[in-house]
Amino acid sequence: MPIGFLWQTFLETPLINFMVLLTVVSFGSYGLAILLFTFITRVITFPLTMRTMRSTRAMSELQPQLQEIQKKYSDPRRRSEETMKLYRESGVNPIGCLGSQLLQFPLFIAMYQVIRTTLGGTPEGVLYLESRIYDFDMLGGTQFLHDSVPLSTNFLFLDLSSTGYSPTSITFMLLVFASMWLQQRISTSRTKPASDQQQQMNQMMQWMMPVMFAWFVVVVPAGLGLYWTATTIIGIVLHWIFLGPGDFTWGSIVPQQLRARLVPAAATASASTNKSGALLDGADATTEQESSDGANSGDQRRRRRRSRRTGAQQPGSQSRSSRRRRRQRR
Amino acid sequence: MACAGIANPNGWASPVVEEGILVTQIDEGELSAFTTPTGDSLALNPTARLWTYPGGTDDDDGVDLKAIYATPLIDGGIVYVAGYSGQVVALTLQNGRPVTSWGGPVDIAERIVATPALHGDVLYIATEVGRLHRLDASNGTRVATPVDIGGRIWAAPYADARGVYVAGIDRDFVAIDGSSGQSRWSRDIGAVAGDPIAVGGLLYVPAFDRRVHVLDLTADGAERWPDGGRGDAWFWSSPLIEGNTVYAVAVDGSVYAFDRDTGALRWRTIAASSDEVRAAPVLQSNVLMIATRDGDIRGFNPTNGTLLWVEHVSGERFYADPLVLESGLVIFTDEDGGLWRVDPSSGNTQPFLESS
């Protein structure tokens, strides 16, 4: 059987009908249907995502040993053998973190076809859509799927069927770029590159993938931009919850040159705050630039902040309301 | 891939004949005119082409119709053309040059699929963003601010002395006062993408709710077929009214014959396979003909729906409404703008004019 037929029959057409169904349950809003679809696919692929994240975490935990191997063995073959041995002994699959991404690609391609078809951007498209909708007869002979198309292409102030340099497409182009850049930045923040080559590769991926997908969004219907933005943001949230931000700090988003200009000002500001008796210790005065140098320093800072908020707080620094609460409990 | 091309607009403007000149979109976004076809094939007569617009002259700089879905409207020797790009132009039928008083194309800046309507001096243009624009047909200036109808409008508006009637794919059919733009009445009849046909104060409207609606324009759009005109799939193509029968083709290729007074079903043919039909049916030499997206042209007996013949034109798709020339030749237009001549008695289909 030709692969195109299988793809259409078992993936594309069911997804088209599912999207139409979701639009019906989303009160006719195609934008909400895309968001709902994104959420559902994220729930379905959650076990795979978790596996990927466990693998990522395990990889980051092996970083010190990996770096040691890098230093210890100059022969690339030996180095590779030792690295594989380490992976084997630790039960880590180095390509385990690719599983979720591999599934994302066919989904993205299928979603491209589905959104292009269901939105019916051109009159020919709507005619074609009709032939792809299942004939579900409800009670009273109502074919609710057929009756609900053509779908409205408007979502908030956006036209999800638009392509090219329309305001909607540009909006999603920026959103996709920003969210993907952030995702790449956060996902590479847990592991220190083993070599300069890997660092260069990471940096290239950091920019190349967002640029590539942002360009896709301009040439395809804007609805796909909504899907990709939503799925990327969910990915960021999941990463943040289950793996933490690594050495990522919001300050590190600011370009280095700009940061260098801002840092003296920030340092002066923190010094004056210390004089006025605020809670800042030496660690708080650490600049964002410094913190981004060490692996997991973002995590460390988070832990420090958390401990400060809980038991590690100095008696003298307790607020009046918390002292009052303690007295009441006694 | 089966869906190749669905994202690219090609346009499905139907050819029209006026004053012995055939006007058709032979190439995407270009309109060409030919002398009255009398022979078997226009392709055999290279001198038949009168003009092409835009034709690459300085006057045509900045003109980009993109694709033409709206059938050109000809009135008083002027051809009104609305392109998918949103540009509207008025051309002299005889030479294809822009009408001087228009001062070039009018850019509506909204995609246009619906065929414009002309009533009196006002040209009504409905757009894909659901607005109805009113232009002075003599010079292209705006007569009034556009009226927001809502939803995409692909069906041609109909205008008469009482007002303008517009149907969109947002499921509302609206009657508007032509001068004030105020809504007079509206009917929820399902999405409409096909052009309504007006006969004797009644408007026959094909709709996606699998019905042909008949609205009485003299009675605020009262439904004249409350229980009739029902099919099993969307009705997109315009119905054909002949004698006491209304013929309608559903998008799945099923053909229906309804009683003109009541909408009661007289006969129907069930399509063997699910086709996609957008082109209106045509009746000639006592044969009812339809054309499908898959390249089939079929002939039926109009009295009982018996299939008489099927011709398949390989590799072509038919969306545009057919045309019957004065000579009795039946012309179907394929997606690329090529014209095909069909013999109603045998179904024999031959190229009439090939797209370049």
The full set of domain ranges for chain A reads 3-243
Mean pLDDT over residues A265-282, rounded? Answer: 45
Whether the pLDDT of residue A283 is over 70: the answer is no
pLDDT confidence of A268, banded at 50, 70, 90? Answer: low
Residues of chain A in contact with residue B1, where contact means CB-CB under 8 angstroms, are: 4
Can you tell me the distance from the alpha carbon of B62 to that of B71, in angstroms, rounded to the nearest whole number? 22
Highest average pLDDT, of A271-275, A302-306, B340-344, comes from B340-344
- Predicted confidence (pLDDT) at residue B16 exceeds the cutoff of 50: yes
A-B C-beta contacts closer than 8 Å? 66
B233/A128 Cβ within 8 A:
no
B213-240: average pLDDT: 95
User: Scanning every residue of chain A, which has its alpha carbon at the shortest distance from the alpha carbon of B294?
Assistant: A128
Residue A304 pLDDT level (bands cut at 50, 70, 90): low
Asked if B236's CB is within 8 angstroms of A127's CB, the reply is yes
Query: What's the token pair of residue A208?
Result: 């190349």
Shortest Cα distance from B44 to chain A (angstroms)? 31
Instruction: Give this complex's ipTM.
Output: 0.84
Of B1, B9, B234, nearest to A4 by CB-CB distance is: B1
CA-nearest residue of chain A to B67? A122
pLDDT band at A330; cut points 50, 70, 90: very low
Q: What is the CA radius of gyration of chain A?
A: 26
pLDDT band, residue A306 (cuts 50/70/90): low
Which of B44-58, B135-149, B319-333 has the weakest average pLDDT? B44-58
> CA-CA distance, B273 to B270, in Å (whole number)?
9
Q: Is the dihedral of CA A12, A14, A17, A19 positive or negative?
A: negative
From chain B, the residues in CB contact with A127 under 8 A are: 236, 251, 276, 278, 293, 319
Contact B251 A130 (CB under 8 A): yes
3-class DSSP state of A4: helix
Distance between CA atoms of residues B60 and B82, nearest Å: 15
> Do the chains contact at A122 and B276, CB–CB below 8 Å?
no
Contacts of residue A116 in chain B, CB cutoff 8 Å? 3, 6-7
For B330, residues 6+ apart whose C-beta sits below 8 A from its C-beta are B282, B284, B289, B322, B323, B324, B341, B342, B344
For residue A147, give the nearest of B6, B209, B251 by CB distance: B209
Interface of chain A toward chain B, CB-CB under 8 angstroms: 4, 8, 113, 116-117, 121-128, 130-131, 143, 146-147, 149-150, 152-153, 163, 221
Q: Does B12 reach chain A within 8 Å, measured CB to CB?
A: yes
Percent of the residues in chain B that have a pLDDT greater than 90, as a whole number: 74
Query: Does B66 lie at the interface with A, CB-CB under 8 angstroms?
Result: no
* pLDDT value, residue A211: 92
Query: A147 vs B208: CB contact, 8 Å cut-off?
Result: yes
Taking CA atoms, A311 is separated from A297, A305, A306, A318, A329, in Å, by 21, 11, 9, 11, 17
CA distance B160 to chain A (A): 27
Residue B37 to residue B41: CA distance in whole angstroms: 8
pLDDT (average), residues B316-324: 94
pLDDT digits (tens, 9 = 90+) for B71-81: 999 999 999 99
Q: What pLDDT, on the 0 to 100 scale, is given for residue A277?
A: 38
Greatest mean pLDDT among A81-85, A134-138, B280-284 lies in: B280-284
Going across the sheet that includes B158-160, the strands are B158-160, B163-167, B173-176, B183-187
Nearest to B30 by CA among B75, B106, B74, B91: B91
**pLDDT tier at B264, thresholds 50, 70, 90:** very high
Are the beta carbons of A126 and B193 separated by less than 8 Å? yes
Residue A312 has pLDDT above 50, yes or no: no
Show residues of chain B in contact with A126, CB under 8 Å: 169, 193
Look at B147 and B329; give whichever has higher pLDDT: B147
Residue B174 has pLDDT above 70, yes or no: yes
In the predicted model, what is the mean pLDDT of residues A18-37?
92
Q: Which of B329, B319, B346, B315 is nearest to B154 (CA)?
A: B319
Residue B204: its pLDDT value, please?
98
Cβ atoms of residues B71 and B115 within 8 Å: yes
Which residues from chain A sit within 8 angstroms of residue B208, using beta carbons?
146-147, 149-150
Sketch the domain layout of chain B as residue ranges: 197-277
Q: For residues A36 and A230, what is the distance between their CA atoms, to the nearest angstrom?
A: 10
- Does the structure show a pLDDT above 60 at A124? yes
Quick one: pLDDT band at residue A260, thresholds 50, 70, 90? confident
Domain B197-277 has CATH 3.40.50.300: no
**Predicted pLDDT of residue A83:** 85
Indicate if the pLDDT at residue A272 is higher than 90. Answer: no
Q: For chain A, say whether B293 makes contact (Cβ under 8 Å).
A: yes
Q: Which residues of B touch A150 (CB under 8 A)?
A: 152, 169, 191, 193, 208
- What average pLDDT is seen over chain B? 91
Is the alpha carbon torsion for B143, B149, B155, B161 positive or negative? negative
| Partner A contacted by B7 (CB < 8 A) | yes
Nearest to B274 among A4, A121, A131 (CB): A131
Whether B193 and A122 lie within 8 Å, measured CB to CB: no
Q: Give the pLDDT score at B246.
A: 98
How close A131 gets to chain B, by Cα (Å)? 7
**Rg, C-alpha atoms of chain B:** 20
Q: Stretch A276-280: mean pLDDT, rounded?
A: 38
